[in-house]
Amino acid sequence: MIEEKSIGFLINGISLSPDVDENEACSIAATEMKRAGISPARLRFDIYKRSVDARRKDRVRLVYSISVRSKNGEKIEPPIRSRYGITPLYDREIQAESGSEKSPYSPLIVGMGPAGLFCALLLAERGYSPTIIDRGDSIAQRSRAHGRFVQEGILDTESNIQFGAGGAGTYSDGKLLTRVNDPRVAYVLSRFCEFGAPEEIMISAKPHIGTDRLMEVVDRMLSRIEELGGRVLYRCRLDGISEMADGSIVAKTTKGEIHSSALVLAPGHSARDTYAMLMQNGYAIEAKPFSVGVRIEHLQSKIDEALYGSWAGHPRIGRGEYHLSDTTSGRGVYTFCMCPGGQVVAAASEEGGVVVNGMSVYARDGKNANSAVCVSVRPEDYGATPELAIAFQRNLEKAAFLAGGSDYYAPIQTVGDFLQGKQGSEPTTVLPTYRDGRVRCVSMDRILPSFVTEELRRGLHSFDRKLLGFAHSEAVLSGVETRTSAPVRILRDDQMRALGHTNVYPCGEGAGYAGGITSAALDGIRVAERLIERFQPNEKDFC
């Protein structure tokens, strides 16, 4: 649980030109307090959040929230009347009392994505000495495996963009924006900063770490787990689960059997063989909606101009970001995981399939912008079973592999060709970034179902009306984007345990309970809280 302690309040909605020093926002907040009859001399003013308001391109503004706290820790009351919005400010700490249940074994966490990482970290800090495993490699080894795939087309199905330390989110943009309203969000951001994430994620309305810095953060988090008595095992794939008479769990892995008090399942959204193993063992799993589509690339400079007009390139505004959606057809098409100044990456994890995703480094200094353009897929579109959900994704990836030449080149098509129903135009202005340009021109109609391509065409026209140039003929589509979220959900009860299983806890995006780095981390923390409240700490490690 989260304990909240009031430490002040926020003054929201202070709007300034990007040319004005941001410290002026604090000065305005101080003036507002003085106007309300409260002496600012005993108060501390800090920037709490900063966002860009670009609704008018001729008048782009930066909008600030300023925290107001007492310098000496005294309680302060907010002004009764204010020209700005006033909201309370809390200090939040995770408070979970250790339970009474004893076990000779430590918890086992399967998966090193954000859900598994934050679960293991919290458990390690509370003295539970968890073991955390992943089928993939450490950050360094994983990067080398991905590099071989990019340069030579040699895919390691155990260690790639989907599997390994940090999970799929490591090779993204490190986006931390979430619409989940949970006080633990601030805790997640602050913990990332402790391990080396840029401090600005604490104040940015759209925080991101960047793939390059996130790799370092993940390494430090895993090292910390080990320092606290936890165990980190790479190249250790979960192949089976046995529940013993005493309630403990025996995990069958590629590195032998591991005994545990409880098993946290945080496998990531691409662990299809794990889903199959669970279904074979009678776990309750249901099909769920997901999305598929393509990646679209534009020149980042054109996106900046479309969003910010003459303010494009201003150092305080940064690279332009967008999120677009249209549900007027009843199905829905939307952009997802937009990567400013980034690249399209090779995200396959199975032989004979092509998958694309997006990535940016912290500087976001690449020439192109990219994002997924995805169409909602309903259970009735594929047969409404978990097996058919996975088969639907897999078949699209195989079709993309064949269309691209069966050598992991990505199929691409210019937006102009796609909208006109033709193919063959080679990219000129916007050069594809997938595997340093290892692409082939095809028709997306050969790969994607008609309901997807029809919705994509409608969406491109709709988005072009909202963001001028989005459907520019020289923009490039790359296929296929199939791993937007897990296609299934591992059902769990109100104690976060798998239905019918006392000591197995499905967790995170791969279990169907999150969508993105922050929400997955939150789910991992909540599972850790459950384990802390149930078990006594046990620093012994048996296997």
On whether the pTM is more than 0.85, the answer is yes
pLDDT of residue 543: 37
Which of the two residues, 513 and 37, has the higher pLDDT score?
A: 513
Is 138 found in the same domain as 212? yes
Is 205 found in the same domain as 155? yes
pLDDT of residue 47: 97
Is 135 found in the same domain as 183? yes
Instruction: Give the integer Cα–Cα distance in Å for 201 and 518.
Output: 12
Is 117 found in the same domain as 24? no
Is 341 found in the same domain as 307? yes
Q: Tell which of 24, 59, 94 closes a domain.
A: 94
pLDDT grade for 2, boundaries at 50, 70 and 90: low
pLDDT grade for 201, boundaries at 50, 70 and 90: very high
pLDDT of residue 60: 96
Mean pLDDT of 483-494: 96
Is residue 508 assigned to a domain? Answer: yes
Provide the terminal-to-terminal Cα distance of the chain, rounded to the nearest Å: 31
Mean pLDDT of 457-468: 98
Is residue 205 assigned to a domain? Answer: yes
Q: Is the pLDDT of residue 178 over 90?
A: no
Cis peptide before 480 (omega within 30 of 0): yes
Q: Is the pLDDT of residue 480 over 60?
A: yes
Q: Tell which of 481, 500, 526 closes a domain.
A: 481
Is 279 found in the same domain as 310? no
Is 85 found in the same domain as 45? yes
Mean pLDDT of 402-413: 98
Q: Is the pLDDT of residue 254 over 70?
A: yes
At 243-252, the pLDDT tens digits run 999 989 999 9
Q: Is the pLDDT of residue 541 over 60?
A: no
Mean pLDDT of 106-116: 98
At 358-378, the pLDDT tens digits run 999 999 999 999 999 999 999
Rounded to 10°, the helix 211-227/114-125 angle is: 30
Is 434 found in the same domain as 404? yes
Is 403 found in the same domain as 298? yes
State how many domains the chain has.
3
Domain coverage including residue 405 = 290-481
- Name 259's bridge partners: 250
Is residue 301 assigned to a domain? Answer: yes
Looking up tokens 């590629």 gives: 254
Q: Is the pLDDT of residue 265 over 50?
A: yes
pLDDT of residue 1: 66
Is 464 found in the same domain as 336? yes
Is residue 541 assigned to a domain? Answer: no
pLDDT grade for 542, boundaries at 50, 70 and 90: very low
Is residue 518 assigned to a domain? Answer: yes
Mean pLDDT of 107-136: 97
- Please provide the average confidence, as pLDDT, over all residues in the chain: 95
Mean pLDDT of 334-348: 97
Which CATH number belongs to the domain containing residue 23 in this structure? Answer: 3.30.70
